[in-house]
Amino acid sequence: HVWETRVRQSCLPKKDEGLIVLVTGAAGFVGTHVSLALKKRGDGVLGIDNFNSYYEVSLKRARQALLEKQEIFIIEGDINNKELLKTLFDLIQFTHLMHLAAQAGVRYAMQNPGSYVHSNIAGLITLLEVCKDANPQPAIVWASSSSVYGLNSKVPFSENDRTDQPASLYAATKKAGEEIAHTYNHIYGLSITGLRFFTVYGPWGRPDMAYFSFTRDILKGKPITIYQGSNKQDLARDFTYIDDVVKGCVASLDTAGMSTGSGGKKKGPAPLRIFNLGNTSPVTVPNLVSILEKHLKVKAKKNVIKMPRNGDVPFTHANVSLAHAQLGYNPTTNLEIGLKRFVKWYLSYHGLERPVKSRRL
């Protein structure tokens, strides 16, 4: 029927040797960009997303419309729906799973802890269960997070650094995800790659993140709150531009080994891979705000709180030499240029491309 035809069309690679990828969280920020990049180079792409209301559903629908223009179909469903997933894997021989669906955000974990367990732990296990039973088994690439480094005070962060001090429940579920992935790699021979993204930003981004909400509030003349670290130290983030992250995701899919269907040393797959995908150049929150003020041509009203937010880590800074060596990962967009592109998109998306004084906000 119509649904099945759309699924098949969406999954059809347009080039020989094209991948066939199921992208979870495809209506999300990173999922949208990764789906578009894969489709553009000729891979078959099918999305799945539950369109939850953690942030504006209208933005997720707008991203969906963008994907539909490129003939990428998003199934509306939850990654905990095992029957739906099994139906999809029976219908299509996915070569890869790009798993980006999750409950993101650090602070919301204090309001709604259950949604992190549902999506980041139970959802991941459901997907891995379906992948281990699939024939062929897909290679899996999924999003972990820089937050797993937690209260680690050694910078820059390298993949083997300690990750046993998460500062938030979000971080704890991402860390748990890495350990769950390890067991599926070990027992069932699944090829799995975890990517620790570092505060990703860009066009079509997430309204709950600081650079996005600051832009909205600065334009509206509303005060923004800047959290500073203890001891007058500014908090810093290794803000990473979406296009750089997308390149790292695509390279991870391309270099992922085959799932072998058997664990153990002799016949097993390549071991679990974990990579940092950061920018290697942390910027403080006040500096982020200055760059936004410059691009928006509006001064921010600032409310400074000399304490980190509960659950925040003080700083993040990626060492990406492993991703560079194995994926050819090489972030090239600095925050100044990346935010310029974000602001251009933001103004266009909200119909605000006119002189500052005549903008209706």
Residues in contact with 168: Cβ distance below 8 Å, sequence separation at least 6, in sequence order: 106, 107, 109, 110, 147, 311, 312
Q: Which of 55, 116, 149, 170 is catalytic?
A: 170
For residue 103, state whether it binds ligand UGA (rule: CB under 6 A).
no
Residues in contact with 132: Cβ distance below 8 Å, sequence separation at least 6, in sequence order: 184, 188, 190
Residues in contact with 129: Cβ distance below 8 Å, sequence separation at least 6, in sequence order: 82
Whole-angstrom CA distances from 43 to 21, 28, 40, 94, 334 are 7, 19, 7, 11, 29
Pick 10 or 228: Cβ nearer ligand UGA: 228
User: Which does residue 314 bind out of ligand NAD, ligand UGA, none, counting CB within 5 to 8 angstroms by kind?
Assistant: none
Pick 145 or 333: Cβ nearer ligand NAD: 145
Options 11-19, 41-49, 99-107, 335-343: segment touching ligand UGA (CB under 6 A): 99-107
Q: How far apart are CA 151 and CA 163, in angstroms?
A: 8
C-beta of residue 142 within 8 angstroms of C-beta of residue 194: yes
Is 170 a residue of the active site? yes
| Least gap, CB of 199 to ligand UGA (angstroms) | 4
Q: Which of residues 141-160 bind ligand UGA (CB under 6 A)?
A: 145-147
| Least gap, CB of 46 to ligand UGA (angstroms) | 24
| Least gap, CB of 162 to ligand NAD (angstroms) | 19
Q: How far apart are CA 74 and CA 118, in angstroms?
A: 20
- By CB under 6 A, name the one of 101, 210, 272, 291 that touches ligand UGA: 210
Helices (H) and strands (E) in the chain, counts: 12, 13
| Least gap, CB of 278 to ligand UGA (angstroms) | 8
Q: How far apart are CA 110 and CA 30, in angstroms?
A: 24
For residue 130, state whether it binds ligand UGA (rule: CB under 6 A).
no
Positions that interact with ligand NAD (CB under 6 A): 25, 27-31, 49-52, 60, 78-80, 100-104, 119, 123, 143, 145, 197, 199-200, 206
How would you class 284 by CB atoms within 10 Å of its CB: exposed for 0-12, middle for 13-18, buried for 19 or more?
A: middle
Give the number of C-alpha atoms closer than 13 A to the C-alpha of residue 348, restricted to the C-beta side.
Answer: 8
C-beta of residue 236 within 8 angstroms of C-beta of residue 283: yes
Q: How many CB atoms lie within 10 A of CB 107?
A: 13
User: Which does residue 96 bind out of ligand NAD, ligand UGA, none, counting CB within 5 to 8 angstroms by kind?
Assistant: none
Pick 213 or 260: Cβ nearer ligand UGA: 213
User: Which does residue 285 bind out of ligand UGA, ligand NAD, none, counting CB within 5 to 8 angstroms by kind?
Assistant: ligand UGA
**DSSP secondary structure letter of residue 120:** I
Residues 237-266 as x/- pattern, contact with ligand UGA by CB under 6 A: x-----------------------------
For residue 226, state whether it binds ligand UGA (rule: CB under 6 A).
yes
Site for ligand UGA, rule CB under 6 A: 104-106, 145-147, 197-199, 209-210, 225-227, 235, 237, 285, 309, 312
List the catalytic residues: 170
